[in-house]
Amino acid sequence: MQEKVLHYLWKYSLFERAAALTTDGEAIEVFATGTHNVDSGGPDFLNAHLKIGATHWYGHVELHFKSSDWNAHAHHSNKSYNAVALHVVWEHDLAVFTESGRALACFVLKDKVPEKILTYIANFSNSADAIACKELVTDVPVLTRNFFLDGLLVERLERKKNGLKNDFDRLHKNWDHITLMAIAKTMGLRHNSAAFERLITSFSLDVLYKNNDDIIMLEALLFGQAGFLEAEYFEKYPSDLKKCYLFLKKKYDLFPMAESEWQWFRLRPASFPLRRIAQLAAFLHNRQHFFSALSALQKPSDFYEYFDGKVSEYWHTHRYFDDAIGGKTLFLSKSFIDKIVVNAVVPILFLRSEYNSDFDLKEKALSLLLKIKSEENRILKAWKKVGLTAANSGEGQALIELHNEFCSQKKCLNCAIGLSIFKNAGHYVGEIQKEY
């Protein structure tokens, strides 16, 4: 029995409270289990309210696997533990005393916790399934699930926002530059996010704005800084780009990336770095003041129109310079634009709302997520398989957060859905269908 499980059982009163007795046979009534002390030294639970026998106690609670651990941890000689009212243990093997000499009341949990709860806790923690509670999760009350998922959505957005703070400071608190960087990183997806960040921070916005009215000069700047114009090419288009880039490089004292910084492995042709850079160029062409423009948009169709830039014809028939393929129109799909809004625009709006103390802007960001269709990915397909389908991007982001921060780490003891299952052990419909 792990001590963290003991803490969990006590914290949420997952034991037969009516039959609680000390090892001396005195009845125990628990009015408040106390505040879980996870941040500092001292007893495990602070300021509990208990009635032991005829006496009300307002004190602390300490938990151990064996009661003799009290002495092993030197609590018997530590004045900080004199205010402990109850010693909660899994096994009782020794009567113990506080530093002041008071005999400490002891409560043994081992025979007071329903076997079903212990079985669930053990099986969930050791489950090989990505979603340990897959047979029971849909039995958890909708209100409980939704309340927890709403909180997870906000936590996910707060974490993304906090991840942008250092970048924002590094970019001299320029809202257009941080917005552009967030968009570019999203376009790079997992494989090339870092490379796109490096690209966007390799030149100033001033250099960008002075050259983005001419698509050739703009593409020369982007492809050149990305490290793709160092070789010699046969076709006219890349050769012209290289000539333009050499001019820009000298004029602005630019230093290009290494082409090796870009990842190609396991990417679909639509996500190849050069094609994504071409799409970024289409978006940037004749554009300035990205943040103000994006923050003014209200609905998904507004974003589809805003990101509907015309990609240079060359990239409809090429995946790489001098590498012609069958022709197919290259454009940002609506689902990919949704991904940009969810992963770039919304976190930027959250960041701005914090800096300006603008609660309405945060509400707008959350509202956008509810208007956008949820993406299709491995995690959401797994949730759909067990009966939870995301109706919009807000629900999708919450389910992704649940999977990443709880399910994949087997943190069932920290999950409100897990707690609901443990508290109602033996009463959910799914338990009739499959015994763990």
Please list the residues that pair with 50 across neighbouring strands.
Answer: 30, 57
- pLDDT confidence tier of residue 273, bands split at 50, 70 and 90: very high
- pLDDT recorded at residue 126: 85
Residue 269 reports pLDDT greater than 90: no
- pLDDT recorded at residue 326: 72
- pLDDT recorded at residue 123: 87
Residue 355 reports pLDDT greater than 90: yes
The sign of the dihedral angle between the CA atoms of 296, 298, 299, 305 is negative
Q: Residue 82 corresponds to which amino acid?
A: N
pLDDT digits (tens, 9 = 90+) for 11-25: 999 999 888 999 999
pLDDT digits (tens, 9 = 90+) for 385-395: 999 999 999 99
- pLDDT recorded at residue 119: 87
Task: Give the long-range contacts of residues 109-115, CB within 8 A, separation 24 or more.
Answer: 109/6, 109/9, 109/10, 109/15, 112/15, 112/16, 112/19, 112/20, 113/9, 113/14, 113/15, 113/16, 114/14, 114/16, 114/425, 114/426
- Greater confidence, 155 or 114? 155
Q: Is 323 exposed, middle or buried (0-12, 13-18, 19+ CB in 10 A)?
A: exposed
Distance CA 304, CA 332 (A): 9
- pLDDT recorded at residue 426: 56
pLDDT digits (tens, 9 = 90+) for 45-73: 999 999 999 999 999 999 999 999 999 99
Residue 124 reports pLDDT greater than 70: yes
Given the structure tokens 């997992």, which residue do they identify? Answer: 190
- Centroid of chain to Cα 433: 32
**Residue 317 carries which DSSP code?**
S
Q: Residue 53 corresponds to which amino acid?
A: G
279, HSE (Cβ side, Cα atoms, 13 Å): 27
For the whole model, what pTM was predicted?
Answer: 0.83
Distance CA 150, CA 147 (A): 5
Is 92:101 a contact under the CB 8 Å cutoff? Answer: no
Is 403:382 a contact under the CB 8 Å cutoff? Answer: yes
Please list the residues that pair with 149 across neighbouring strands.
Answer: none
- Greater confidence, 421 or 401? 401
Distance CA 65, CA 94 (A): 12
Q: At what angle do helices 273-284 and 189-200 cross, to 10 degrees?
A: 50
Dig out the tokens for 46 from the structure.
């602070």
Q: What is the mean pLDDT of the chain?
A: 93
The sign of the dihedral angle between the CA atoms of 321, 325, 330, 333 is negative
Residue 436 reports pLDDT greater than 50: no
Pairing of the two strands 106-108 and 84-91: parallel
Share of the chain above pLDDT 70, in %: 97
Q: What is the mean pLDDT of residues 267-276?
A: 91
- pLDDT recorded at residue 81: 96
Residue 433 reports pLDDT greater than 50: no
- pLDDT confidence tier of residue 314, bands split at 50, 70 and 90: very high
- pLDDT recorded at residue 428: 55
Distance CA 298, CA 226 (A): 33
Element (H, E) at 56: strand 55-66
Residue 40 reports pLDDT greater than 50: yes
Distance CA 202, CA 213 (A): 19
What value does the CA radius of gyration of the chain take, rounded to a whole number of Å?
A: 29
Q: What is the mean pLDDT of residues 201-208?
A: 96
The sign of the dihedral angle between the CA atoms of 127, 132, 133, 138 is negative
Distance CA 200, CA 338 (A): 21
Residue 74 reports pLDDT greater than 80: yes
Distance CA 57, CA 161 (A): 44
Q: Is 436 exposed, middle or buried (0-12, 13-18, 19+ CB in 10 A)?
A: middle
Number of helices (H) and strands (E) in the chain: give both, helices first: 19, 8
CA–CA distance from 317 to each of 99, 267, 269 (Å)?
81, 17, 11
pLDDT digits (tens, 9 = 90+) for 207-243: 999 999 999 999 999 999 999 999 999 999 999 999 9
Determine which of 14-23, 339-348, 411-420, 423-432 has the lowest per-residue pLDDT on average.
Answer: 423-432
Share of the chain above pLDDT 90, in %: 85
Q: C-alpha angle 429/430/435, rounded to 5°?
A: 120
- pLDDT confidence tier of residue 429, bands split at 50, 70 and 90: very low
- pLDDT recorded at residue 208: 97
Is 28:50 a contact under the CB 8 Å cutoff? Answer: yes
Query: Could you state, in order of their start, the residue ranges of all structural domains in the chain?
Result: 3-113, 171-368
How many residues are given for the chain?
Answer: 436
End-to-end CA distance of the chain: 19
- pLDDT recorded at residue 55: 95
Q: What is the mean pLDDT of residues 253-270?
A: 93
